[in-house]
Amino acid sequence: MRGALSGSLVWLLGCGGAGGRSDTLESSEASEAVEASEAETSASADTESAADAVPLDIPEERVDVAVRPSNMPRGFVIAPPDQAQAPECGTVHGGVVFDTNLDGWDDVVLATDDGLRVLVGDPYGRFTLARVVDPASGAQVPLRPGGRGEVRGVVSTGTGFVVACTTGASELRLGPTPTGLAVAGRLPVRDGACRALAVGDVSAETGVSLLALVEGLDGVALRRWVDGVADEALLSAAGPALPVGMLEPAAPGCAFERLEQDPLGRGIGRLTAVLSVPELVATLPIAADGWPVRLRLRVRGDGTPVLVEPVLVGSDGARVLGPALEVPAANWAEVDVETSAWGAPSPALAAVGLRVSGAPELAGRLYLDDVVVELPDRLTAVVAAFDPPARFRWDDASALVAGDVDGDGAADAVVLRQSKPPVLVRSYGGPVASPLSAGGQVGFSAAALLDAESDGDRDVFLVSPAGQDRLLVGDGYGQFLDTTLGAVPVDGANGTSALAADLDGDGHDDLVIGNRGGTDRHYRAKGDGRFGDATPFLGFDSLDTAVVLALDLDRDGDLDLMSVAADGNVTPLVRVAIPREDGS
């Protein structure tokens, strides 16, 4: 083995401003606020005591309690606009409620086209955009946990972490710290860009299942990870080796190909020199706007002494050669090397490769995997993960929800398509995909799993962007019946998201549908598979909603709502739950 380690190289050998409410207020300032509020409402027999939550500073005329029906335990009141701050980004794609700083108060983590954004909640029900000081300009800028780059979704695993669906090299795993959200690891590198992410059932038997729609060259594929390990059941059987890149020079008998699997179940690349040649340069194409600052990959040899040098190719054809690397003969090595010191002769990256030479001539095999570059602003881009093709792929898959719909303890997936019926992918007896009948409608934009009939089985609620929302009732074995007629209010709004949660404390899952171009809608569950339209008690203030979140902003035991606009420069709309007239 010959060659020298140089540069910054790491080898890891091995196999692979309005007031608010609070439960308790101990400061004198808070006590004075309570006393002032009691003085202003002395005519009311239901005046709160100093030990109760301080009321939000909201005009009473906004709450129309005279028309509240007896079967509606509580409604909602619109909070002042300054109760929350805008995330300051281009577009919001999704969000999740998560305590990012371990202070016991709900925060909101948003997926945007400029990284993650965090709205930090406080004991007064306010949400403030988390900021940091830019060392270059000294100005305060939004905090982006995990760096910049487009994030298409974010979910909570239910085990103290959140996972971000990125268009980079892999999904980010983030956890809470006293100073805020921090990166705690990554899922395995995969080919393509994540377009949607969902979390499955969390149990001791099956662990946490994360399902993602990943858009690659061969369509949008469904992939699943269980406890961070790729689920091979959703990958196709091994097939013939496929070409993955280019060889220079094109020597006879030499090949650069993809193997479907190695002994560890990974897809890998293999560079083979059958005839003795001085050297080979193998390149993998990539379209990246910018020059990389770091290169990562996994590599293993077959015992033949070789010298390997990384190659970066610019969009103008310019090449930069990295430091020489030694390759282990038996175990996989993780290569992590700084590339910023190599220079940036081109404004964009067009290919990443390896120059391999022998002593005195080259013959043998070199295996590699998970080739990733890191661009400025910590944006990562996968060059090649050599993933085996996914078993399930669709050209128009756009969203998904996950959960156990057939009672086998493993997460199933409902995949939404833009121009065809939704698809149910069940895990029982091996992955099986079948269409879901939804009254002949296609092109749903969002979905939610809930128990509409209170029978313990998962049902599916589908949101249409330009037609009737539909309810599919499940039998607990993976079969569904469309019961929309007579069960769901008539609706033709532009729906974008769905939230299923018990908002009135009666033990049944209610629904909130986020809409664009109109108010969000609220359907109250009757517990027998039917829903009544309770939208008037949601409040008619509207915005182009991207996602609706349920949270307890004041820790009074009931669920409040936050509607986040698709436009990241618009302030989220906060709806605060108000109690019954008897104070309960």
Q: What per-residue confidence (pLDDT) applies to 238?
A: 57
Would you state the pLDDT for residue 302? 87
* 281-313 pLDDT tens trace: 989 888 778 899 999 999 998 888 888 999 999
Q: Is 244 left (phi over 0), alpha (psi -120 to 50) or beta?
A: alpha
pLDDT band at 218 (very low <50, low <70, confident <90, very high): confident
Torsion angle (degrees, nearest 10) of CA 145, 150, 153, 159: -30
Q: How, if at all, do strands 480-482 and 397-403 pair?
A: unpaired
User: Which residue has tokens 């577009």?
Assistant: 91
Average pLDDT over residues 174-198: 92
Mean pLDDT of the chain: 82
Average pLDDT over residues 225-232: 80
What pLDDT, on a 0 to 100 scale, did the predictor assign at position 522?
95
Model pTM score: 0.80
Does the pLDDT at position 18 exceed 50? no
Tokens at residue 480, please? 């569904």
The reported pLDDT for the residue numbered 333 is 87
Compute the average pLDDT of residues 320-339. Answer: 86
Determine what percent of the chain is predicted with pLDDT higher than 90. 48
pLDDT of residue 278: 83
Cα dihedral: 520, 525, 528, 530 (round 10):
-30
- Please say if the pLDDT value at position 61 is more than 80: no
Question: What pLDDT does 241 receive?
Answer: 64
* CA 194 to centroid of chain Cα atoms: 8
CA distance 2 to 11: 16
- Each residue's pLDDT tens digit, 397-442: 999 999 999 888 888 999 999 999 999 999 877 789 999 999 889 9
Which residue in this structure is represented by tokens 């300032």? 29
Amino acid at 232: E
SS (H, E, C) 494-550: EEEEEEEECCCCCCCCEEEEEEECCCCEEEEECCCCCEEECHHHCCCCCCCEEEEEE
Segments in 123-198 forming alpha helices (H): none
Q: How far, in Å, CA of 536 to CA of 48, rounded?
A: 26
pLDDT digits (tens, 9 = 90+) for 397-407: 999 999 999 88
The better pLDDT of the pair 224, 87 is held by 87
% of residues, the chain, pLDDT over 70: 83
What local confidence, expressed as pLDDT, does residue 408 receive?
85
Residues ≥6 apart with Cβ < 8 Å to 23: 53, 554, 555, 556
pLDDT over 70 (residue 52)? no
Residue 550 has pLDDT above 60, yes or no: yes
Reported as a single tens digit per residue, the pLDDT across 369-395 is 999 998 887 678 888 888 777 889 999
Phi then psi for residue 128, to 5 deg, are -115, 135
* Predicted confidence (pLDDT) per residue in 105-152, tens digit: 999 999 999 999 999 999 989 999 999 998 888 899 999 999 888 999
Structure tokens that stand for 52 in this block? 């109760």
Query: If you ran DSSP here, which 8-state letter would residue 412 be given?
Result: E
Q: 480 vs 274, which has greater pLDDT?
A: 480
Task: End-to-end CA distance of the chain: give it in Å, rounded.
Answer: 77
Residue 55 is classified by DSSP as: P
Could you tell me the CA-to-CA distances from 298 to 12, 79, 219, 324 in Å, in that order?
A: 10, 52, 26, 15
Band (pLDDT 50/70/90 cuts) for residue 204 is: low
Is the model's pLDDT at 360 over the cut of 50? yes
Mean pLDDT comparison of 143-147, 327-331, 474-478, 563-567, highest-scoring range: 563-567
Return the pLDDT at 398: 94
